[in-house]
Amino acid sequence: MIDSGNCKCSRNFSGDKCDQCQNGRYGTRCEKQCPHNCVNSCDIETGTCVSCKNKFYGLFCNLSCSSICIDNVCNQGNGKCTRGYNGTTDDPVCPIRSDSPEEKQPVTAAVLGSILAVSVVVNIVLVGRLLLKKIRTSRRKPMIPETGEAFYQNTGNTGNGD
């Protein structure tokens, strides 16, 4: 039992109401240990790290930053060097800083793609409305005068024998 100040918590639990996992633990019963390279704690449900120790990156801080990253510090999400890099650019992870313009290209592409998608949908809706209007107007019956006389085209005769 652990004394939290207000109550004695079961193993691996903490907090005033013993409803939180101890630092470094996660799971429904706080039975699992956070990955070794997480700083302090991890997500209580998934075990993903909130932040990584220096030299590591990834959801579970299980990937090593490149040795050419300055101070072995890299972006936790993608492993790119955050302070720049030393030496060769042959390393597959680290030649580009995480704040470089190349990192912003996917965002730009996503925005442009979204705009294109919206414009395509708007055009489809407009064309659909035009077609629907044309179909509705073509279904209307033409008005024929109800005089009882038949009209024969190109003859000028009305069909009455005149």
Q: Where are the domains of the chain?
A: 1-53, 65-107
pTM of the model: 0.47
pLDDT digits 0-9 by tens, 17-71:
888 888 888 988 889 999 999 988 899 899 999 999 989 999 999 999 988 888 8
Radius of gyration (C-alpha) of the chain in whole angstroms? 36
